[in-house]
Structure 1
Amino acid sequence: MNNPITLRGLSTISFWAADLEAAKKWYTELFGFKPYFERPGYFEFRLGDTQAELGVIDSRYSPTRSAASPAGTIVYWHVDDVKATFEKLLTMGATTYEEPVERGPGFVTATVVDPFGNILGIMYNAHYLEVLESLKKS
């Protein structure tokens, strides 16, 4: 059966920052390590179980139709403790976009706006853990 996969997985999630050096410092503190890749106007971290990329780009290069305030699609990163992660983000200067909400058994979400205007979603997702476990078995 010929069934091509069109979306194979997240490659890079892009955030924007007018003060790139401040953003690099903030995200380095959050993650506990420095970006693995840098070039003028851009840096990247590899994160989590699948080493997904979070790139931060100088906002001068943002698409001309970008929203001026936090808006759009929210990417949720799995975390083991939503409440603790949410509180840590707030103490680091992020602001509440949506407080932690239980969406059903095994699913809790929250969102903050980082100091640079990007929406950062965090989530405890039971299905994420099930998929990880199945990948380990294969």
Structure 2
Amino acid sequence: MLLKKIESVVIFVANIDEAAAWYAVLFQTEIRRENSQYAFIKTPAGLLGFHPLDRKCPGGVGGTTVYWEVDDLQEAIKALEKRGAVLYRGPISTSFGARAAMLLDPFGCTIGLNQSTEQSLHALASNDRAG
């Protein structure tokens, strides 16, 4: 297979130091740097990188949103709001029965949250068998 796994997700922000620090606290990890234009943290899902926004990658709403699996959607929303995030979309129930919401972090980028249910996990497994 050509594409093996997601190596990292990069967020384009105005201030990489502030954004990296905010997410490092969220994931209880340390900030690492590749160079002056790129900081990253290790998360359970992989690397989360921070790069200065520019004309080609202006960051913010309208780009790709990464959805993180959470145990309790409302609890996750409240915890992120306490840290300065703002609810942007949802919460909603998806067609498969999961609960989802999107927030804006303090840097204008989106954070997706997904709380799977037995129904949504079953629906995804059924789709895997059908596809």
TM-score of the pair, normalised by structure 2: 0.77
CA shift, 1:69, in A, is 4.3
Letter in 2 for 1:15: I
Equivalence for 2:85 = 94
8 Å CA contact 1:106–1:124 kept in 2: the answer is: no
Q: Which residues of structure 1 form unaligned runs of 5+?
A: 132-138
Equivalence for 2:20 = 24
Q: Is 1:58 matched up with 2:52? A: yes
C-alpha distance in 1, partners of 2:105/2:65?
13
**Matched residue pairs, number?**
119
C-alpha RMSD over aligned residues: 2.3
TM-score of the pair, normalised by structure 1: 0.73
Equivalence for 1:40 = 36
SS in 2 for 1:88: helix
8 Å CA contact 2:84–2:106 kept in 1: the answer is: yes
Identical counterparts, % of pairs: 25
8 Å CA contact 1:82–1:124 kept in 2: the answer is: yes
SS in 1 for 2:20: helix
SS in 1 for 2:79: helix
